Amino acid sequence: MLDELDRALVHALRIDGRAPFGRVAAVLGVSPQTVARRYRRLRAEAGLRIVGLADPHRTGRTRWLLRLSAGPHAAQSLAQALVRRGDTAWVKLTSGGTEITAIVETAPGDDGHSLLLRDIPRAATVTAVSAHCLLHTYRGGPTVWPGSAEALDEDQQARLRPMFERPARPMAGLDDSDRALICALHHDGRTALGDLAAATGRTPATVARRLAELRADGTVFLDVELDPRLLGVGLQALLWMTVAPAHLDRVARALTHHRELAFVAATTGPTNLAATALCADPADLHRYLTHHLAALPGITALESAPVLRTLKSAGPVPAPPGRPSGPQRRAFA
């Protein structure tokens, strides 16, 4: 479990993942050396990572929530194949280890759907598959789980919140330098400006200005990866809900006020609302489902699946020693 200072540091990084340690230290009332030491320890021992992500809607990409079923001996290898791909995130094993859930991003055109149209059908060990297009994300991405952002008061949060001037005109599309910048931030959201300049072919001043524009416009945001068990989460569960279309937006917005939920999104398919619940234990999940969620009118069907293991989060999985760690798009199986 994290102590009070660790939680405050995580909350600070959720507000601004690139905040200088000196500014974080001033807000937390400790020395910059203490902040740097705590950050290094959390990276080494708790898997803390700052990950730069691009808003898929602003970059012309589509996100899919993928559900695969396979035999108990095949599911792990299939999940690892998904982990190795550069177009996947949040790869999880659920339902006794026989179901895999993942988020897949596809680019415009048929080639961007190779996983859905070609690679999965070739995998003989897959016994069932469904792909749900993410239509609208109500919580997730820039909107963080409340359980990881409760350590700082309003004044501290205001002092840490980055102030970017929004561009006067809508920005043009991303160029190759922008894509290189996003790729570098995807591997480490705190990459130094000098290294970002080397990766993009721009000067550090140009990189700093462009990154500020992309963050102000909402094209790029920074996420914090951390094992939720360190924040008291003993059980994760995926929730698949069916809601009448007339009530979908109302129900989804109501769910954003539920502290237990880290992700809420409207999707295509017979279950048109997906969520991720983070609870202390099975009894806590039962209370949430039978009291808090059950009290919300409009949900006509609910399926829940405990998460047994998260194999990949938002950022790429580091390559083993001796292997390159750049973007990969490997065969599904």
Which domain range does residue 299 map to?
Answer: 228-312
Asked if residue 273 belongs to a domain, the reply is yes
28-36 long-range CB contacts below 8 Å, 24 or more apart?
Answer: 28/156, 30/5, 34/5, 35/9
Number of domains the chain contains: 1
Asked if residue 156 belongs to a domain, the reply is no
Burial classification of residue 295, based on how many CB atoms lie within 10 Å of its CB (0-12 exposed, 13-18 middle, 19 or more buried): exposed
Closest to 237 in 3D by CA, of 226, 228, 246: 228
Asked if residue 72 belongs to a domain, the reply is no
Asked if residue 154 belongs to a domain, the reply is no
Asked if residue 169 belongs to a domain, the reply is no
253: left (phi over 0), alpha (psi -120 to 50) or beta: alpha
User: Rg of the chain over CA atoms, in angstroms?
Assistant: 20
Q: What does the alpha-carbon distance between residue 196 and residue 181 come to, in Å, rounded to a whole number?
A: 6
Segment 215-263, tens digit of pLDDT: 999 999 999 999 999 999 999 999 999 999 999 999 999 999 999 999 9
DSSP H or E run through 220: strand 220-225
> Average of pLDDT values for 150-178?
86
> Average of pLDDT values for 69-82?
87
Q: Decide: 186 and 199 in contact? Cβ < 8 Å.
A: no
Asked if residue 263 belongs to a domain, the reply is yes
Segment 1-56, tens digit of pLDDT: 899 999 999 999 999 999 999 999 999 999 999 999 999 999 999 999 999 999 98
Segment 28-38, tens digit of pLDDT: 999 999 999 99
Q: What is the CATH number of the domain that holds 294?
A: 3.30.70.920
Asked if residue 325 belongs to a domain, the reply is no
Q: What does the alpha-carbon distance between residue 297 and residue 304 come to, in Å, rounded to a whole number?
A: 18
Asked if residue 243 belongs to a domain, the reply is yes
